Amino acid sequence: MPNLSIKDVPEPLAEALRQRAARNHRSLQGELMAIITEAVQPAATRGPGAVNSPLQGWRRGTRTIEEIARESFVKYPEPVRGGPLGVDIIREDRDSR
């Protein structure tokens, strides 16, 4: 594969890219590859929440904690009663070793 190089990148821009990579849980190299892939991919093939990375298809977008909680409350409106407590499950597992 060819290598590309960008010289004389201003430090504020480089730092912004490093922060963006960290937010997306990617290396700087991975983040730059995702940006380039997004830039050259035809708009018609991009969907909302599309992920453009070497792991494409692994993750189909993001949801906030609030969205996940709301979906969970809709799916399970009543709390589970009578089940074991988490502390008991952990204690049993530790005692089994």
Give domain limits for the chain. 11-43+62-95
- Name the average pLDDT for the chain: 83
Q: What is the pLDDT at residue 45?
A: 61
Query: Which pTM does this prediction carry?
Result: 0.45
Give the C-alpha separation, 10 to 33, whole Å. Answer: 19
- Each residue of 46-75: pLDDT tens digit? 555 555 555 555 555 678 888 888 998 898
The dihedral through the CA atoms of 24, 28, 32, 34 has a sign that is negative
Q: How confident is the model at residue 44 (pLDDT cuts 50, 70, 90)?
A: low
Measured distance CA(30)–CA(20) in Å, rounded: 11
CA angle 5, 8, 11 (to 5 degrees): 115
Report the pLDDT value the prediction gives residue 66, as an integer from 0 to 100. Answer: 87
Three-state DSSP class for 14? helix
